Amino acid sequence: MPELALIEAIRAVLPDPPQRLLRGPGDDAAVVAARPLAVSSIDTVAEGVHFELSTHSAADVGHKALATALSDLAAMGAEPGEALLAFVLPGDFSEESALELARGAAELAAQTGIAVAGGDVVRGRALVVTVAVTGWADGEEELCGRDGARPGELVGVTGELGGAAAGLALLDGRASAMSNRALREDQHEELLRRHRRPEPLLEAGRRLAAFGASAMIDLSDGLASDASHVAAASGLLLRIDLDRVPVAPGTRAVATALGAEPAVFAATGGDDYELLVCSPPDRVDALEQAAEDAGTRLTWLGEVGRGTGLELVAADGEPAHGLGGYEHR
C-alpha cells in the first residue's frame, strides 16, 4: 500500500478544516491564525502498553490517543485548537484499519471542535499513535496549572473514579472470574467504555479554570499519583480522604473480585481522565456550579495544607495502606 494513497484516504475521513486554519494537511506544515497564548501537549499510546488490539478496535485507539492529549488541554483550561496525528502502523495493519483509526480520532475531533491540522503515517513494528494538540487562550488568567494550590484550599474531583481501571481488569481477564451477577450488563459496558473511550473534560476544564480553580490536573495515572504532582508543583501537602473518593458504578464489584479495597482501587487506577481541582474556600460554590454547567459534578475529598507530598487518609484517620499495588504508566 503506497503511503501517499493511504494519507489521502485518511485525509478524506477527517472533518473539514475550520477558517482559522489558513493551511491544513497537504502542505509542509499547517498554518493557523493564533490567539495570544498557545497551549500545547503531546501524548503517545502504544500497542502492548496502553491498549491491545485484541481488546480495542482501531477506532478505540484513535479516540483514546486524541482524548488523552486533549485531556491535558482540559486540565489547563485551554480552548481546543488543532491536533497533529502521527501513526506508526505495523506491516499487517490493513488500510481499512488505518482508516478506522483515523475515524475514531476524527469523530472525537468533530465532537470537541478540534481541527486535525496535519499528520504523519509511517510503517513500523507495533501500532503507536502520537497526538500533539494545541489549545488557545487570550490571557494567563484563563489558564490553570498544577502549581497554584494554596494552604487552606479544598481538593475536589470531577465525576467518578476507578471505572477505567475496572474496565481494564474486565478487558484483560483479571476480573473475568467474577460473578456475572455482581455486575449489571449496563455497568459492565460502561466500565469497558470508560477504558476504551475516555472523554476529555474540555468544557469542565475551561469553566473550572475560568471560575477560580487555583490548580488543576487530569487524572491519567490515577488520583494518588496525579495529586502528588499537584502537591509537588505547588510545594504543599495534599490530604485526601479515601472514604470520600467517588467510586464509579460497578467498580466496587470489580475491585472486590480482585481482592482490592474499592476506594484504594479507585484512587490508584489510571485512565479516568477526570479533573482534580484545588479551590479557594470562597470559590467552592462557583466551581460546583461550573462543573454542573459542564455536565459533571465535583466531589470534595480533601484539602491543601503546609508540608509536602500526598497524604491519603482512610476512615479511621490513619494513613491508608495497600497503595501502589497498581502499575502506573
Q: Which residues bind a second copy (CB under 8 A)?
A: 3, 22-23, 26-50, 72-73, 75-76, 78, 82, 84-88, 117-120, 122-126, 128, 130, 132-137, 140, 143, 145-147, 216-218, 233, 328-329
Closest approach of a second copy to the CB of residue 201, in Å: 12
Q: Using the minimum distance from each CB to a second copy, give the nearer residue, 85 or 312.
A: 85
Q: Is residue 201 a contact partner of residue 275, using CB atoms and an 8 Å limit?
A: yes
Q: Decide whether 49 or 315 has the Cβ nearer to a second copy.
A: 49
CB of 63 to a second copy, least distance (A): 18
In this structure, what C-alpha cell is assigned to residue 134? 494545541
Comparing CA positions, the residue from 156, 143, 145, 329 lying closest to residue 233 is 145
Grid cell of 176 as nine digits: 473475568
Burial of 119 (0-12, 13-18, 19+ CB in 10 A): buried
* Number of other residues whose CB lies within 10 A of the CB of residue 63: 25
Greatest CA separation found in the chain? 63
Cβ proximity to a second copy, 44 vs 299, nearer residue: 44
Question: Of 29 and 177, which CB lies nearer to a second copy in the complex structure?
Answer: 29
Q: To 10 degrees, the CA torsion angle through 212, 218, 219, 220? A: -170
Minimum CB distance to a second copy smaller for 24 or for 163: 24
Cβ atoms 146, 229 nearer than 8 A: yes
Alpha-carbon span 79 to 133, nearest angstrom:
11
Residue type, 249: P
Q: Which is nearer to a second copy, 281 or 309 (CB)?
A: 309
Q: Read off the DSSP letter of residue 205.
A: H
What is the residue-wise DSSP string for 134-195? EEEESSGGG---SS---TT-EEEEES-BSHHHHHHHHHSSTTTTS-GGGS-HHHHHHHHHHH
Compute the distance between CA of residue 234 and CA of residue 146 in angstroms, rounded to an integer.
Answer: 7
In the complex, the smallest distance separating the C-beta of residue 140 from a second copy, rounded to whole angstroms, is: 7
Supply the minimum distance, in Å, between the C-beta of residue 263 and a second copy: 24
CB of 125 to a second copy, least distance (A): 4
Residue type, 124: G
Residue placing its CB nearer to a second copy in the complex, 105 or 257:
105
Which residues, including other chains, have CB under 8 Å from residue 304's CB and lie 6 or more apart? 149, 150, 151, 152, 153, 154, 155, 234, 236, 237, 238, 239, 278
| Smallest separation (angstroms) from a second copy to the CB of 166 | 22
Least CB distance to a second copy at residue 178 (A): 29
Could you tell me the end-to-end alpha-carbon distance of the chain, in angstroms, rounded to an integer? 33
Residue placing its CB nearer to a second copy in the complex, 187 or 214: 214
Cβ proximity to a second copy, 165 vs 216, nearer residue: 216
Q: Please state the closest distance from residue 234 (CB atom) to a second copy, in A.
A: 11
Task: Tell me the closest approach of the beta carbon of residue 76 to a second copy, in angstroms.
Answer: 5
Angle at the Cα of 211 from the Cα atoms of 210 and 214, rounded to 5 degrees? 85
